[in-house]
């Protein structure tokens, strides 16, 4: 599913003519008759509401009272009046409106549905992705943005919003794009994080309701649905929620290499409580091992947004999409977002101390002892009042420094940002320059307290991953979906009191409380977590030669971003316990992407073939 949103002005028709290729694209018109939304989508992807001269289109799984929405649209005094609609919709959908000559375009909070935009022939054109815009904007590779993709673990907010294509922008979280008839735009904030004031039981009830609704809009009556069943709480919980919603469920479990990893034991226990579902166990032989698609970049066309953060397991993800398609499933559920929203992040302590000083200090000392953090490091972290901009400056200073010892308490806005050891001085200098330039703008965090800022930052990163998965396998007709990243679910996760976000001896207490009564108690009692270093080692052993082959004519080296000899030396000695293992995934994702047709612009505004 790809689409453009055109302004209600005379420039829209010439732009439409530019994007209409050999195959006619679907077009929805403004009341004026001018083209409004143009692209490719399935019939079930779109809900269109009309009230007189006004129109509202929803793309994606959601549901609503059509008559009530029609009345709201009819009575709206401005585009801002539609904020109430955005605050109520369940599921995950783009909301596009045409009201009195103006357009409103927005995605979801996590950016799993996102709005990109560019200046085309002097007017602002919005889109659901970069692919429809890249040809129109005559985009080129933004090498600075690619340098940021080398950062480990990921580029920090707000630099993470920067597309890898010049001339294209990405809308900020919690904003919508207002475009007038003349093609002028402004970004409008519509969302603020809810106050963290709900007791655990109350917040869990709200979360349960949001999750049940999230699965209801995706499940019953939509044919078979594929879903991960890892054995962990996140994906397992989704399977039970989908079953409760009446889904025709097909589950997939990847059997780990390490026999001490008990994920399979727990997945099989869960499967016994889901007798109506079809359960599949994937052994993941050589071609599905980690790094199993190293040499596939030259033929891939679905990575228009840039390097995929899941590159090292791409072959397995493609296998799941193919398996879903063979079973007639058009949607695949994954538990992405569960860790981001429900684990007890270390910065929870920073926020707790400010909300409840005495209790916070007591809990912080307990956590310090459990994690063997130094007393001075913990105290310094709890007292730290630096801004997000100041943290970016500090990160710029430390890009090549050794990683901090495990005794250092990670309580900052973002800790441990590093460039890989094989990055060139020029690449490190570029990353440092970009961090400092962003810091000079005094960027605002996504939320004023650190733990909720990080929750939202990680959710936005995961939303980008979902977008990439959808693009990568769109030709198979399977849409990847992460219900934990729905707006209503995120709001429910943010609403719990800070003191209830963590509990001694309880893993993800809010999610566990929400799943009680939906997931069997014996499944919720799990106290272990699967570990996959054996799978990493197996993948490296099988595919090291192919990875080394990428060093021989490295595209990143040709761009002056990495030293191919240092990268090759690291690959030869690399093991899953090496500190160089995490940055390798980002580097190889960039290297593989640069070899793909997706990295060459301009591209066709829309892919040819059936609408997806």
Strands across the sheet with 116-120, in order?
26-29, 35-40, 2-5, 123-127, 116-120, 169-170
Peptide bond into 602 cis (omega under 30): yes
338-366 pLDDT tens trace = 999 999 999 999 999 999 999 999 999 99
274-301: average pLDDT: 77
Compute the distance between CA of residue 109 and CA of residue 488 in angstroms, rounded to an integer: 9
Do residues 480 and 329 touch, judged by C-beta distance below 8 A? Answer: no
Compute the distance between CA of residue 53 and CA of residue 233 in angstroms, rounded to an integer: 47
**What is the share, in percent, of the chain residues with pLDDT greater than 70?**
95
What is the predicted pLDDT for the residue at 611? 47
What is the DSSP secondary-structure string of 65-89?
-HHHHHHHHHH-SSGGGGHHHHTT-
Please provide the distance, in angstroms rounded to a whole number, between the alpha carbons at the two ends of the chain: 5
Lowest average pLDDT, out of 11-20, 67-76, 289-298, 463-472, goes to 289-298
Do residues 40 and 611 touch, judged by C-beta distance below 8 A? Answer: yes
CA 586 to each of CA 118, 151, 571: distance values in angstroms, whole numbers, following the listed order: 27, 7, 14
What is the predicted pLDDT for the residue at 310? 85
Compute the distance between CA of residue 38 and CA of residue 16 in angstroms, rounded to an integer: 8
* Maximum mean pLDDT: which of 288-292, 471-475, 604-608: 471-475
What is the predicted pLDDT for the residue at 299? 56
Do residues 354 and 381 touch, judged by C-beta distance below 8 A? Answer: no
Compute the distance between CA of residue 131 and CA of residue 603 in angstroms, rounded to an integer: 7
| Token duo for residue 590 | 């960039």
Question: How do strand 2-5 and strand 123-127 relate by DSSP bridges?
Answer: antiparallel
Spatial neighbors of 535 by CB under 8 A, at least 6 apart, are 256, 257, 258, 284, 289, 290
> What is the helix (H) or strand (E) element at residue 241, kind and residue range?
helix 233-244
pLDDT band at 293 (very low <50, low <70, confident <90, very high): confident
pLDDT at 538 over 50: yes
CA 289 to each of CA 232, 486, 582: distance values in angstroms, whole numbers, following the listed order: 20, 30, 17
Compute the distance between CA of residue 334 and CA of residue 135 in angstroms, rounded to an integer: 32
What is the predicted pLDDT for the residue at 612? 44
According to DSSP, residue 24 is labeled P
pLDDT at 608 over 70: no
pLDDT at 216 over 70: yes
Counting DSSP H helices and E strands in the chain, the numbers are: 23, 17
SS3 content of the chain, % helix, strand, coil (to 5): 45, 15, 40
Enter the pTM of the model.
0.95
What is the maximum span of the chain, computed from C-alpha positions, in angstroms? 68
Coil, helix or strand at residue 50? strand
- For the stretch 12-34, what's the b/e string if a residue is b when 16 or more beta carbons lie within 10 angstroms of its beta carbon? beebbeebeeeeebebbbbbeeb
Do residues 333 and 479 touch, judged by C-beta distance below 8 A? Answer: no
Q: What is the CATH number of domain 2-189?
A: 3.60.20.10
pLDDT at 178 over 50: yes
What is the predicted pLDDT for the residue at 601? 59
More confident residue, 268 or 504: 268
Compute the distance between CA of residue 108 and CA of residue 71 in angstroms, rounded to an integer: 23
Compute the distance between CA of residue 309 and CA of residue 303 in angstroms, rounded to an integer: 11
pLDDT at 218 over 60: yes
49-59 pLDDT tens trace = 999 999 999 99
Cα–chain-centroid distance for residue 385?
29
488-512: average pLDDT: 94
Compute the distance between CA of residue 109 and CA of residue 603 in angstroms, rounded to an integer: 28
179-211 pLDDT tens trace = 999 999 999 999 999 999 999 999 999 999 999
What is the predicted pLDDT for the residue at 606? 54
Rg (CA), the chain: 24
CA 329 to each of CA 219, 248, 325, 467: distance values in angstroms, whole numbers, following the listed order: 11, 9, 5, 18
400-407: average pLDDT: 88
Q: Return the closest-CA partner of residue 237 out of 523, 474, 585.
A: 523
More confident residue, 294 or 501: 501
> What is the helix (H) or strand (E) element at residue 479, kind and residue range?
strand 479-481
Tell me what the pLDDT averaged over the chain comes to: 92
Spatial neighbors of 553 by CB under 8 A, at least 6 apart, are none
pLDDT at 610 over 50: no
Compute the distance between CA of residue 145 and CA of residue 169 in angstroms, rounded to an integer: 12
| Token duo for residue 79 | 């585009």
H helices present in 473-609, as ranges: 487-494, 509-515, 521-524, 533-552, 555-558, 564-573, 581-594
The residues pairing with 322 across neighbouring beta strands, listed in sequence order, are none
Q: Cβ atoms within 10 A of the Cβ of 132, count?
A: 29
In the numeric block, the tokens 């009530």 are attached to 68
241 — phi, psi (to 5°)? -65, -40
Do residues 308 and 593 touch, judged by C-beta distance below 8 A? Answer: yes
pLDDT at 602 over 70: no
Q: Which CATH superfamily is domain 200-339+453-533 in?
A: HUPs (3.40.50.620)
pLDDT band at 290 (very low <50, low <70, confident <90, very high): confident
What is the predicted pLDDT for the residue at 15? 92
35-77 pLDDT tens trace = 999 999 999 999 999 999 999 999 999 999 999 999 999 999 9
The residues pairing with 125 across neighbouring beta strands, listed in sequence order, are 118
Question: How do strand 46-51 and strand 116-120 relate by DSSP bridges?
Answer: unpaired
What is the predicted pLDDT for the residue at 23? 63
Compute the distance between CA of residue 446 and CA of residue 450 in angstroms, rounded to an integer: 9
93-129 pLDDT tens trace = 999 999 999 999 999 999 999 999 999 999 999 999 9
The residues pairing with 152 across neighbouring beta strands, listed in sequence order, are 418
pLDDT band at 609 (very low <50, low <70, confident <90, very high): very low
**553-559 long-range Cβ contacts below 8 angstroms, 24+ apart:** 554/591, 555/591, 555/594, 555/595, 556/587, 556/590, 556/591, 556/594, 559/143, 559/146, 559/594
pLDDT at 452 over 90: yes
301-317: average pLDDT: 85
| Token duo for residue 73 | 């649209």
Crossing angle between the packed helical segments 357-371 and 348-355, to the nearest 10 degrees: 160
Domains 2-189 and 200-339+453-533 share a fold: no
Do residues 575 and 581 touch, judged by C-beta distance below 8 A? Answer: yes
376-388 pLDDT tens trace = 999 999 999 999 9
Q: Return the closest-CA partner of residue 163 out of 185, 184, 140.
A: 140
Q: Give the count of alpha carbons within 13 A of 432, CB side only.
A: 14
Domain boundaries, the chain: 2-189, 200-339+453-533
């Amino acid at each position: 599913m790809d689409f453009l949103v055109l302004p209600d002005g005379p420039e829209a028709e010439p732009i439409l003519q530019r994007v209409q290729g050999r195959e006619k694209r679907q077009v929805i018109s403004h009341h004026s008759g001018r083209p409004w939304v143009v692209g490719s989508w399935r019939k079930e992807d779109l809900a269109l509401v009309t009230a007189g001269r006004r129109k509202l289109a929803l793309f994606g799984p959601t549901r609503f009272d059509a008559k009530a929405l029609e009345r709201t649209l009819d009575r709206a005094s401005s585009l801002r009046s539609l904020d109430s609609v955005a605050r109520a919709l369940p599921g995950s959908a783009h909301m596009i409106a045409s009201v009195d000559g103006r357009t409103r375009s927005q995605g979801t909070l996590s950016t799993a549905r996102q709005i990109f935009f560019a200046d085309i022939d002097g007017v602002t054109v919005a889109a659901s992705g970069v692919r429809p815009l890249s040809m129109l904007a005559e985009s080129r590779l933004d090498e600075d943005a690619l340098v940021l993709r080398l950062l480990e673990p990921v580029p920090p907010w707000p630099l993470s919003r920067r597309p890898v294509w010049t001339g294209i922008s990405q809308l900020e979280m919690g904003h919508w794009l207002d475009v007038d008839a003349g093609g002028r735009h402004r970004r409008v904030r519509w969302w603020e994080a809810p106050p963290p004031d709900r007791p655990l039981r109350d917040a869990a009830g709200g979360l349960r309701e949001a999750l049940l609704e999230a699965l209801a809009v995706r499940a019953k009556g939509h044919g078979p649905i594929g879903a991960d069943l890892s054995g962990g709480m996140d994906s397992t919980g989704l399977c039970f929620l989908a079953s409760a919603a009446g889904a025709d469920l097909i589950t997939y479990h990847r059997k780990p290499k390490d026999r001490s990893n008990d994920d399979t034991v727990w997945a099989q226990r869960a499967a016994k409580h889901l007798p109506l579902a079809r359960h599949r166990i994937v052994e993941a032989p050589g071609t599905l091992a980690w790094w199993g698609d190293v040499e596939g970049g030259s033929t891939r066309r679905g990575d228009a947004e840039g390097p995929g953060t899941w590159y090292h397991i791409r072959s397995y993800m493609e296998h799941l999409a193919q398996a879903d398609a063979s079973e007639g499933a058009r949607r695949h559920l994954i538990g992405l977002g569960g860790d981001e929203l429900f684990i007890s992040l270390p910065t929870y302590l920073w926020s707790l101390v400010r909300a409840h000083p005495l209790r916070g200090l007591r809990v912080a000392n307990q956590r310090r002892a459990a994690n063997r953090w130094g007393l001075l490091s913990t105290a310094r972290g709890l007292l730290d009042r630096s801004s997000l901009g100041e943290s970016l400056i500090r990160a710029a200073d430390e890009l090549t420094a050794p990683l901090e010892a495990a005794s250092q308490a990670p309580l900052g806005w973002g800790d441990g940002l590093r460039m890989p050891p094989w990055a060139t001085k020029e690449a490190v200098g570029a990353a440092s320059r970009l961090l400092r330039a962003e810091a000079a703008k005094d960027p605002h965090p996504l939320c004023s307290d650190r733990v909720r800022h990080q929750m939202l930052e990680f959710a936005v990163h995961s939303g980008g991953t979902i977008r990439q998965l959808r693009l990568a396998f769109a030709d198979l007709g399977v849409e990847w979906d992460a219900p934990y990243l729905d707006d209503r679910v995120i709001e429910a996760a943010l609403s719990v009191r800070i003191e209830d976000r963590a509990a001694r001896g309880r893993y993800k207490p809010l999610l566990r409380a929400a799943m009680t009564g939906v997931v069997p108690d014996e499944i919720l009692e799990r106290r272990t977590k699967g570990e996959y270093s054996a799978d990493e080692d197996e993948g490296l052993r099988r595919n090291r030669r192919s990875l080394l082959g990428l060093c021989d004519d490295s595209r990143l080296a040709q761009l002056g971003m990495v030293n191919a000899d240092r990268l090759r030396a690291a690959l030869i000695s690399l093991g899953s316990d090496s500190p160089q293992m995490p940055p390798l995934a980002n580097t190889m994702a960039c290297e593989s992407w640069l070899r793909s047709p997706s990295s060459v612009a301009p591209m066709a505004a829309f892919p040819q073939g059936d609408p997806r």
